[in-house]
Amino acid sequence: MTKNKASSSPSTTARGQRAPKGVLRRLLRTLFEFYPVLLPVTILCILINAIVSAIPAVFLQKVIAVVDETYQSGDWSSVAGRILTYVLVLVIMYIISLIAGTFYTQMMAIITQGSLKKLREKMFSHMQDLPIKYFDTNGHGDIMSYYTNDVDTLRQMISQSLPQMTIAGITLLVVFCIMMYYSIILALLVVAGIVCMVISARAITNRSSKYFLRQQVTLAKAEAFMEEMMTGQKVIKVFCHENGAKEDFDKVNGEIFFNARNGNRFANILMPLLGNIGNVMYVVVALVGGALLLSDIPNISISGMAFSISIVVPFLNMTKQFAGSVGQVSNQINMVIMGLAGAHRIFALLDEEPETDEGYVTLVNATENPDGSVSECKETTNVWAWKHQHHDGTVTYTRLQGDVRFFDVNFGYTPEKTVLHNISLYAKPGQKVAFVGSTGAGKTTITNLINRFYDINDGKIRYDGININKIKKSDLRRSLGIVLQDTNLFTGTVMENIRYGNLKACDEECIAAAELAGADDFIRRLPEGYNTMLTGNGANLSQGQRQLLAIARAAVADPPVMILDEATSSIDTRTEAIVQRGMDALMTGRTVFVIAHRLSTVHNADAIMVLDHGRIIERGTHDDLLKLKGTYYQLYTGALELD
């Protein structure tokens, strides 16, 4: 559902869009920040390599010219020294080029991978700081693609396209200068050819990108279709609907094929077209060169050399080199566009506003003084206190008790739509407060306000008398244990998953928590007991078993306030009774908020709040509410359906 939301709301960083200006500059700046020394050195090597690989053509020509001259005169002894010098220079240049080439490619591999690593690190740590709201509005698949697609396009761009384009650009420049040196007329001819290449490259890229963009859309459609089919595969089998599914699939698959084929038909044209324009250019230069050679038109050039075979032949080779470089650049352009779009999205993620936290009240371990007050201490105790740092420098301590009060709270996920209206409630330390109501009534929303996943619009929430906005978020959340409706398990052993609740807990404590949660029994029957590896969000466990693990995880955290959001919905009633006995023992004297579908789970609560459309419509104990003969009574007697 979140996915639908994300795709329907136009986001500023949608796929298939070109990056705005400035992204390249920011990307380069980031790279320089990552490698302030290595990167300039590497760039220098790229330059050396490019220049040195372009120049030897000239030397080669000189050597051949000398050989040619001498061959005609027959006087080898006088030029032997000159030839040797030229060859030696050539060898030295090759060696320099080789060293620079080896160095820059190796360094580029390090820089690329290192930069991507640092970028990913930044992205992940920034992601941890983002508010829950961000994850509500952006689909998981979409966020994942930052790490997969976008980083990958960036990798290709940094490691391949940028160096190659630099080299090709320098080669173009050097070759162009040499051409001008030999003959301006022929050089202009080549430039005209290049203009042709650029125009046709643009025309083709525009056409192919039209289909590629459509392909992105059909691919997304296909992915949605397949997700639905694969999720419902077991239902398809039960209804023997395999052939119907195949027919639907063929339609979607045909669409992808159509767009991919057309897009790539144009994209494939690019290289042969550019290559052959290069060939045509070669022929034209040859013909014109030949004509010029025969006619007596004076050569216009920087060197002032007259036309001769020794100009036309190297010129022809340079024409090939030139065309090759242009082809290389245009081949990389698509990658650069995609890479920049990826960089743009990554920067957008990094610029996303993090969760704000102005809280200054912190949670500390405390000891109880004889007079009933508390004072801070270093060692772990079972007593916790809120440390209040006042503006005047004084510090006061309030004992953590778990007293939570709502005063006229209003809240909406978006400013336009208020989903909670005038919620006032109190939970005294040790009380069990239950929320009952249909889906969308606002039960989960209330608990999300206590731990500040979302901030209220209006009203006050007090925790032990402190405004929760003043409490540091991490400390606030540490004081609350939450068991969510959907259990998330991590790749790792069962033991590690329980320990997630309290990283300092030893094995015995984890096992004790599992026993308390009624999970010990099934864990011991797993192939490797507590050391059984869980993968794929605990796919091999039943929904009920996963919930038991989540409860064990919360139990090992041992928090003063506990929020149970449909925590036992998939556990059978008998096991639930066992779990509840354990939890009741654990939570004696502590505050518990319970959301449950099953009324048996909540009937012994100190207060039951019946919610409807964001309002508390009934409140009281089980017996009070039955006497009231209102909504709760109807629910209880089965006259009303909870959805």
Q: Distances from the Cα of 470 to the Cαs of 357, 359, 397, 402, in angstroms?
A: 9, 4, 14, 16
| Interface region with another protein, contact rule CB under 8 A, candidates 343-351, 376-384, 402-410, 537-545 | 537-545
* Contact call for residue 531 and another protein (CB under 8 A): no
Query: Which of 152, 458 has the CB closer to another protein?
Result: 152
Residues between 46 and 85 with contacts to another protein, criterion CB under 8 A: 53, 56, 60, 63-64, 67-68, 71, 76, 83
Q: Binding pattern to another protein, positions 482-521, x when CB under 8 A?
A: x-x---x-xx--------xx-x------------------
* Distance separating alpha carbons of residues 368 and 366, to the nearest angstrom: 7
Amino acid identity of 222?
A: A
At its nearest, how many Å lie between another protein and the CB of residue 373?
Answer: 27
In the set 73, 125, 375, 467, which binds another protein (CB under 8 A)? 125
CA angle 185, 186, 192 (to 5 degrees): 95
Q: Does 113 bind another protein (CB under 8 A)?
A: yes
Please check whether residue 158 is in contact with residue 339, taking contact to mean a CB–CB distance below 8 angstroms. yes
Full strand arrangement of the beta sheet holding 458-463: 420-427, 404-411, 458-463, 466-467
Residues 408-447 as x/- pattern, contact with another protein by CB under 8 A: ------------------------------xx--------
| Among positions 177, 226, 305, 377, the unique one binding another protein when judged by CB under 8 A | 226
Q: Which is nearer to another protein, 233 or 367 (CB)?
A: 233
Task: Please state, in angstroms and rounded to a whole number, the distance separating the CA atoms of residues 104 and 42.
Answer: 5
- Asked if residues 236 and 229 have their Cβ atoms less than 8 Å apart, the reply is yes
Please give the torsion angle defined by the CA atoms of residues 489, 492, 495 and 496, in that order, rounded to the nearest 10 degrees.
-80
d(CA 359, CA 455): 13
Q: Does 217 bind another protein (CB under 8 A)?
A: no
Task: Decide: is 306 part of the binding site for another protein (CB under 8 A).
Answer: no
Span from 256-264, 381-389, 394-402, 586-594 in contact with another protein (CB under 8 A): 256-264
Q: How many residues bind another protein (CB under 8 A)?
A: 154
Site for another protein in 443-482 (CB under 8 A): 451, 453, 474, 477-478, 480, 482
6 binds another protein (CB under 8 A): no
Q: Which of 180, 419, 512, 577 binds another protein (CB under 8 A)?
A: 577
Residues 312-341 that bind another protein (CB under 8 A): 312-313, 316-317
230 lies in the site for another protein, by CB under 8 A: yes
Among 24, 90, 337, 617, binds another protein (CB under 8 A): 90
Residues 366 and 383: beta-carbon distance below 8 Å: yes
Q: State which of positions 597-616 bind another protein (CB under 8 A).
A: 598-601, 603
Contact between 38 and another protein (CB under 8 A)? no
By CB under 8 A, is residue 147 in contact with another protein?
A: yes
**Nearest CB to another protein, comparing residues 295 and 394:** 295
Q: Return the sign of the alpha-carbon dihedral for residues 301, 302, 306, 307.
A: negative
| Minimum distance from residue 12 beta carbon to another protein (Å) | 21
Asked if 43 interacts with another protein (CB under 8 A), we say no
Q: Per DSSP, what are the bridge partners of residue 425? A: 406
Task: Give the count of beta carbons closer than 10 Å to the beta carbon of residue 20.
Answer: 10
Amino acid at 432: K
Which residue, chain included where needed, has tokens 């004076």?
Answer: 298
**What dihedral angle (degrees, nearest 10) is formed by the CA atoms of 467, 473, 477, 479?**
-60
Strands 480-483 and 561-565: parallel
Q: Which two tokens stand for residue 616?
A: 């508390």
**131's torsion region: left (phi>0), alpha (psi -120 to 50) or beta?**
beta
For residue 378, what are the contacts with CB-CB under 8 A and spacing of at least 6?
365
CB of 137 to another protein, least distance (A): 13
Q: How far is the CB of 603 from another protein (least distance, A)?
A: 5
Neighbour count for residue 128 (Cβ, 10 Å): 9
Does position 112 interact with another protein (CB under 8 A)? The reply is: yes
Query: Quick check: 360 binds another protein (CB under 8 A)?
Result: no
Which of 545, 609, 610, 614 touches another protein (CB under 8 A)? Answer: 545
